[in-house]
Amino acid sequence: SLSLIPIMLKISSLYQSIFHPSEISALIQFIFYKPKNILEIKPENKQKIRCYEFLDQTSRSFAAVIKQLDDAVRDAV
């Protein structure tokens, strides 16, 4: 049942977009979105882990954008 939640949210978003046709393109991109850069931090790097914990506490949307940056740029930001 938990695996159905993301699907139900996407279906709900699709239904709601019927009333906002200008959002359909963005919705289609959202439905088929696959993250390109997955953040992987080695467990022994405790300082970096703590930095990303602070980032998550600052702003979830900002953190999501930062975490999707290329590896070479992400830690510098």
Question: Do 19 and 41 fall within a single domain?
Answer: no
State residue 70's pLDDT score. 81
Q: Which domain holds residue 64?
A: 36-77
The predicted model scores a pTM of: 0.48
Question: Do 6 and 27 fall within a single domain?
Answer: yes
The listed range with the strongest mean pLDDT (7-11, 14-18, 72-76) is 72-76
Question: Do 43 and 75 fall within a single domain?
Answer: yes
Question: Do 23 and 42 fall within a single domain?
Answer: no
Question: Do 77 and 53 fall within a single domain?
Answer: yes
Let me know if 63 is exposed, middle or buried by CB neighbors in 10 A (0-12, 13-18, 19+): middle
- 47-56 contact pairs (CB < 8 A, 24+): 48/75
What total of structural domains would you count in the chain? 2
Q: Are 31 and 10 in contact (CB under 8 A)?
A: yes
Q: Which amino acid is at 2?
A: L
